Amino acid sequence: MSELAGRIALVTGAQQGIGAAIARALAAAGADVAVNWLDAEPLDLAAEIRAMGRRCALLQGSVATVPEVRALHAAAVEALGVPDILVNNAGIFPRCDFLRLEEDEWDAVLGINLKAGAFLTQAFARALAGRPGAVVNLSSSAVRGDPRGVHYTASKNGVVGLTRATALALAPAIRVNAIAPGLTDTAQPRFGMTEAEIAERSATFPVGRIGRPEEIAELAVFLASPKAGFITGQVYHINGGMYLA
């Protein structure tokens, strides 16, 4: 039997990249998946999930405000039933020199990267009403600091704090963990780096390459599964040893 058979997952920001890889991997492990997307409907992803014999709901919507977050969770419940796996993956990283940073951009980054996860986790836990569940949050290797992402670094450090605090607040029924990916082969780093810069940087990592979304996804599946039943409040850095370089 698949390790996540009978489970229902909600993955935010899953139209591409790490989010799409996590949605695909959860389905491969047996879960039905509600895929949140914003501006590019992932029809191929939905087809893949359904071809595995799993249910898939494509839920368009922003997570920029608390009412939108609550509406998204309600839509997932209506489409598939009450989720017992939540992956808070949606995030933005608009590069900006700190001296040019404005309040509206700060608020947008903190709202999507941190506040959305907090209030979606709240809606998730309320709906479970004491039943078991698992939350996987996406932090980042940028917790160490990024000179053109002060707002992003602040938000992703906030995710670490959110993970630890909600793990305490929701125990023992709901486990909450986080993944902090390093440089990964998605569109996100390409908004701020050229291909040559990505290659040069990844060559300095001990493993000698950029990460793959599927590698992040496999860790997410593990953390959502019963195999991680004694793990909560932890942050897993998956970055090819870049912190050693």
**If you search the block for the tokens 């890889």, which residue do you land on?**
21
Check residue 91 and give its pLDDT: 96
Residue 129: what are its φ and ψ, rounded to 5°?
50, 50
Query: HSE-up of 134 (CA within 13 Å, CB side)?
Result: 24
The better pLDDT of the pair 67, 1 is held by: 67
Rounded average pLDDT over 105-131: 98
pLDDT, residue 190, reads 75
Residue 207 or 32, more confident: 32
- Give me the CATH code for the 8-238 domain, please: 3.40.50.720
- Residue 76 and residue 102: Cα distance in Å, rounded? 34
Measured at the CA of 170, the angle between CA 107 and CA 72, to 5 degrees, comes to 50
Two structure tokens written together for 201: 């940087």
Say which of 119, 152, 205, 236 is annotated catalytic.
Answer: 152
Which pLDDT score is estimated for 201? 79
Query: Tell me, what's the pLDDT at 244?
Result: 77
**Bridge partner residues of 59 (DSSP):** 36
> Beta partners for 134?
85, 175
The model's pLDDT over 148-199, given as tens digits with 9 standing for 90+, comes to 899 999 999 999 999 999 999 999 999 999 999 998 888 777 777 788 878 8
Q: Is the separation of the CB atoms in 86 and 9 below 8 Å?
A: yes
Predicted pLDDT at 129: 97
Give the mean pLDDT of 51-66. Answer: 98
Helix, strand, coil tally for the chain in percent (to 5): 50, 15, 35
pTM above 0.85, yes or no: yes
Residue 71 in tokens = 């509406």
pLDDT of residue 194: 82
> Is the confidence at residue 205, as pLDDT, over 90?
no
- Please say whether the beta carbons of 12 and 58 come within 8 A: no
Mean pLDDT of all residues belonging to the chain: 95
User: Are 61 and 83 in contact, with CB atoms under 8 Å apart?
Assistant: no
In this prediction, residue 204 carries a pLDDT of 83
Q: What distance in Å separates the CA atoms of residue 132 and residue 175, rounded to the nearest whole number?
A: 8
The four Cα atoms 179, 225, 117, 184 give a dihedral, to 10 degrees, of 30
Secondary structure letter of residue 100 according to DSSP? G
The mean pLDDT value for 99-110 works out to: 97
User: Tens of pLDDT along 125-156?
Assistant: 999 999 999 999 999 999 998 898 999 999 99
Q: What is the pLDDT of residue 172?
A: 98
Specify whether 152 is catalytic.
yes
What pLDDT shows up at residue 245?
A: 64
In sequence order, the 6+-apart residues with CB closer than 8 A to the CB of 166 are 118, 121, 135, 174, 176
Give the residue extent of every domain in the chain: 8-238
| For residue 1, pLDDT beyond 60 | no
pLDDT of 81 reads 98
CB 116 within 8 A of CB 39: no
Phi/psi region, residue 241 (left: phi>0; alpha: psi -120 to 50; beta: rest), is left
pLDDT of residue 105: 97
State what percent of residues in the chain have pLDDT above 70.
99
Judged on CB neighbours under 10 Å (0-12, 13-18, 19+), 67 is exposed
Q: Out of 45-49, 168-172, 199-203, which region has the weakest mean confidence (pLDDT)?
A: 199-203
In order of 38, 51, 142, 169, 189, the CA distances from 106 in angstroms are 20, 41, 16, 27, 19
